Amino acid sequence: MSKSGRRVSDKPFTWSARKVLLPIMSAILVLPIASSQVRADSRPSPKPSPHSSAEAAAVATYLSDRLNKTSASRARKMGAITKQISVVRHSLKNVRVDAKRLLKIAAKYKGVPYRSGGTTPKGFDCSGYTQFVYRQIGIELPRVAQDQLDWSNRISAKDARPGDLAFYLTGNYAYHAAIYAGNGMIWHSPHPGTSVVKVKIRNHKMAYGRIPASAITPGLQIELKRLEKQLGILAKSPGR
């Protein structure tokens, strides 16, 4: 109370006190929290505990089982591919020209005149005739007689069968090509002034050639190469 008898208000004092005390109290509250955070962040991360011997043994067993299963699976695959290769090789060994069809085509051009260098039904020379006839069944022969002999698989006269190639020789050189028709007969285009005809083989030195299996069934040859490559990859794969 003042000397004049009036009461002095305490509001100015209270507001001033708040202005002083609030910052102090905030600092007191924040300091422990910040200190606690610093301590938590500086704590090192826990190290993972090593596997127990039982866990290590379980992992080793699992990996060993996987390896054994992989090896068994590869062995089965290799066995299956080996069998397929055997089947394809057997097919290639025993494949034959369709002789009946071939000789029917050969006979169709009976009477076509001989023409030097001829490769069409307008006129054939000897190797032009053989090349044209085999082409009708999907087999591509080289152009001249010696090349056809070199390209074919040489066989003996006693092993010759219809559909094989037959050649007249001088020395070891093939100068004439024909299609063997069986029973000592051939289809050929003989020489100028003659025409395609079927005749009995006379006094000629002969050679015989068989069409390679790869030329008859190129798809089988491609399949054989594919299987052999696949088998080689499996054989070289790790984990044997």
160 CB neighbour count, 10 Å cutoff: 19
- Are 151 and 141 in contact by the 8 Å Cβ rule? The answer is yes
Q: Is 176 a catalytic residue?
A: yes
Q: Is 51 a catalytic residue?
A: no
Of the candidates 74, 98, 73, 75, the residue with the CA atom closest to the CA atom of residue 215: 98
Q: Letter for the amino acid at 85?
A: I
Q: Which among 51, 90, 188, 191 is annotated as catalytic?
A: 188
Q: Which among 51, 90, 176, 191 is annotated as catalytic?
A: 176
Q: Where are the alpha helices (DSSP H) in the chain?
A: 11-41, 53-94, 99-108, 126-135, 145-151, 213-216, 218-236
Q: Which residues contact 89 (CB under 8 A, 6 or more apart)?
A: 224
Q: Is 191 a catalytic residue?
A: no
> What residues are labeled active site?
126, 176, 188
